[in-house]
Structure 1
Amino acid sequence: MRNVTIKDIARLSGVSVATVSRVINNNGRFSEETRQKVLQVIEETGYQMNFSAKSLRMNRSFTIGILVPDISNYFFADVVQQIEEKFFELGYSTIICNTARNSDKEQKYLTILESKSVDGIIVISGASEEGIEFNFEKTIPYICIDRKPKDEKNTLFISSNHYQGGFIATEKLIELGSKQPVIVLHQLLTSSSKERAKGFVDAMKKNSLYFDETVNQLILGTEQDDITQQVTDFLTKHPETDSFFTTNDILALKILKIVKTLGINIPASLKVIGFDDVPSSQYSTPTLSSIRQNTEEIARVATKSLLAFIDGDDKQQGKQILIPVELVSRESIE
């Protein structure tokens, strides 16, 4: 059909024009059956909304900005993809900005997004440990994921419960017989890594194990450093080490490879748990146990909350939402 109008959609769907409008704009009351019926007719007829007129009428651009520090990172990429899909279903387009963990680039992207009159912004993590700064000339609703902003009162902070992840991973290792667990951290500590470390320490304390930084903590350097040598030296110096909890899966997978070359049996002599549950965890040898973040729930809450902010509902401003995590057990501990 050509030049299909909203009246045509209403007639073919067997509902009123007002109901079609509510479905298209995703507001007001209508049943899921009605929504599906209208959307099916829209798809079959190839109906195209006039977004320019709609934007002028509602004073919206129907565009969302997403700032991400590293699009190649599995966790960030997964969250971004799910957020983009949820906004697309609601009639919004997204502008995805990869900041490469660079503060200057981050601020430039914020300026660009403001100039494009986006309706809202989702910031996933941030380049600076102190948190991202927002210096908009006009008010733009925004949500922060994974790292708190400098000023929390005007936003909502959403994060996985990193402390819980560190705690349940460590307690599982202890439950399986570990007497000298070790937390493995990257030299560039983030707020999420620190929370995971707190969980590790508290799990040891709960199980009457003394935490000693020199014995129960291994901080690895950057990619340029010889990580293999660092791990080898640590195990040589502390042969009683019987388990590793790493603050991300990349470190865990590297340790699996290194330990294997040293002839140490996993999991009989050494157990390993990572964090993030990246796809490659299922294909390593042995397969890697890991803490899984609920990216679908993070995306759902972020999308719903930002839309509420855009609609003027600021009840959640200044609050924090922690999303529970879970342990996925595989061969590295079994």
Structure 2
Amino acid sequence: MNIKDIAKLSGVSVATVSRVINNQPNVRPEKRELVLSVMADHGYTPNIFARGLNSKSTKSIGILCSELDDINHAKILSLLEKQLREHGFSSFLCCSGEYRPYQREHFEFLMAKQVDAIIEIGSSYGDANDLEVYREVSEQVPLIILNGFVDVPTVYSIRCDERSAICNLVEELYKRNCRHIYYLEDNTTFCAVEKRNGFLEGVNKCNLKATSKCITIPIYSNEILDAQQKIERLIRNGRRIDAILSADDLLAVGALQALNTAGLSIPVVGFNNSDFAFACTPRLTTVDNQREFLCTNAINTLMSLLDGKDAAHHIIVSPKLIEGETFKLQA
């Protein structure tokens, strides 16, 4: 028996069963009694992630992320913690220490803290085993993925449409007669793959497969230096470079250093609208993935779920181009 079986036998939604298991409000007494009766009749007990039927709200939220030294994760963590505090919630942070699918042990750590919900920053695509863990967790407490997605109906996700942002940039550069476009990437997370797919989609649309390439930078390297050296090597080898797109501002800064040294001025666009974009010369054009708006949506979704209300399962936010000196739409 699982939570879906209990919901079917009780004639209620999975969300209602989850609220009963977690002793949350906004469940009519007759439905609560019905669910509890069905659970008792079939000997159902919540799985290893369950907190027990008599648990109370701890006013705490678990936050799961990979790398703390990632400037983008650090900013999101700061925004989430501030907004949670404003709603009277504390937080527990679990850092996996590497960019890979989050493991059962990470969720178990947070569930052991009796958190009321979990917010995950980023995600991988995940295999069948990973999805089963997400399914188990999300049947016990609200699970929200910020800037990521897993294909589990009970998991909520809020993300930016980063794929379209990169695809649109390729098409815009093509209109400006850029035919040799290079894309710098450094990760394999959901968002990283979405951005890469956006680049490939744009390349295919503009028939640039023969002249435009992806360049991978090792994620645990000195990314600025490695990106700089990759572009310097292309220049030394006489490769034509019409424009450079990047999955992250950090990589774009390295590319700019190489171009500045070679005396080249071409369109360069970063991603994430980080402080790096404003701290380099020339000032970097970057894509804003709307972190503040994403965090606000995540917290609003969380508060609705904790109040027993419905919420949208999948929210997609449009990105915004922040024009610096390396690329202007008006040019």
Query: TM-score, with normalisation over the residues of structure 1?
Result: 0.71
Classify 1:189/1:158 alpha carbon distance in 2 versus 1 (closer, same or farther; 3 Å).
same
Q: Work out whether residues 184 and 220 of structure 1, in 8 Å CA contact, stay in contact via their aligned partners in 2.
A: yes
Q: 1:138: how far off?
A: 7.5
In 1: Cα distance, 2:138 partner to 2:322 partner: 45
Percent of residue pairs bearing the same amino acid type: 19
AA aligned to 1:277 is N
Equivalences for 1:66-81 in 2 at 5 Å? Answer: 66-81=63-78
Q: Work out whether residues 271 and 332 of structure 1, in 8 Å CA contact, stay in contact via their aligned partners in 2.
A: yes
- 1:230 aligned counterpart, secondary structure: helix
Equivalences for 1:1-334 in 2 at 5 Å? Answer: 59-101=56-98, 106-126=103-123, 129-130=126-127, 133-134=133-134, 135-136=136-137, 139-149=140-150, 151-186=151-186, 188-206=187-205, 208-212=206-210, 215-222=212-219, 223=221, 227-237=227-237, 239-261=239-261, 263-266=262-265, 270-316=266-312, 319-334=313-328
Q: 1:236: how far off?
A: 4.0
Q: Work out whether residues 294 and 323 of structure 1, in 8 Å CA contact, stay in contact via their aligned partners in 2.
A: yes
Classify 1:315/1:110 alpha carbon distance in 2 versus 1 (closer, same or farther; 3 Å).
same
Classify 1:154/1:275 alpha carbon distance in 2 versus 1 (closer, same or farther; 3 Å).
same
Classify 1:176/1:331 alpha carbon distance in 2 versus 1 (closer, same or farther; 3 Å).
farther
AA aligned to 2:287 is I
Q: 1:58: how far off?
A: 9.5
What CA RMSD, in Å, does the superposition of the two structures yield over aligned residues? 3.1
Query: TM-score, with normalisation over the residues of structure 2?
Result: 0.72
- 1:281 aligned counterpart, secondary structure: helix
Task: Report how many aligned residue pairs link the two structures.
Answer: 271
Aligned position for 1:47: none
Q: 1:93: how far off?
A: 1.1
Q: Work out whether residues 169 and 291 of structure 1, in 8 Å CA contact, stay in contact via their aligned partners in 2.
A: no
- Structure 1's unaligned 5+ residue stretches are 1-26, 28-56
Q: Work out whether residues 272 and 333 of structure 1, in 8 Å CA contact, stay in contact via their aligned partners in 2.
A: yes
Farther off after superposition, 175-184 or 74-83: 175-184
Q: Deviation digits for residues 9-58 of structure 1, max 9, x if unmatched? A: xxxxxxxxxxxxxxxxxx9xxxxxxxxxxxxxxxxxxxxxxxxxxxxx99
Q: Deviation digits for residues 72-98 of structure 1, max 9, x if unmatched? A: 222222222222222211111111222
In 2: Cα distance, 1:107 partner to 1:244 partner: 39
In 2: Cα distance, 1:200 partner to 1:102 partner: 22
AA aligned to 1:326 is K
Q: Work out whether residues 83 and 299 of structure 2, in 8 Å CA contact, stay in contact via their aligned partners in 1.
A: yes
Which is higher, the Rg of structure 1 or of structure 2? 1
Classify 1:211/1:105 alpha carbon distance in 2 versus 1 (closer, same or farther; 3 Å).
closer
- Structure 2's unaligned 5+ residue stretches are 1-24, 26-53
In 1: Cα distance, 2:323 partner to 2:138 partner: 49
- 2:327 aligned counterpart, secondary structure: coil
Classify 1:154/1:168 alpha carbon distance in 2 versus 1 (closer, same or farther; 3 Å).
same
Q: Deviation digits for residues 191-226 of structure 1, max 9, x if unmatched? A: 2122222322333444x44223x6433223351795
- 1:147 aligned counterpart, secondary structure: coil
AA aligned to 1:265 is L
Classify 1:88/1:110 alpha carbon distance in 2 versus 1 (closer, same or farther; 3 Å).
same
- 1:245 aligned counterpart, secondary structure: strand
Q: Work out whether residues 184 and 227 of structure 2, in 8 Å CA contact, stay in contact via their aligned partners in 1.
A: no
Q: Deviation digits for residues 82-129 of structure 1, max 9, x if unmatched? A: 222222111111112222126698533322221221111101124775
Q: Work out whether residues 143 and 156 of structure 1, in 8 Å CA contact, stay in contact via their aligned partners in 2.
A: yes
Classify 1:138/1:170 alpha carbon distance in 2 versus 1 (closer, same or farther; 3 Å).
closer
In 1: Cα distance, 2:162 partner to 2:236 partner: 30
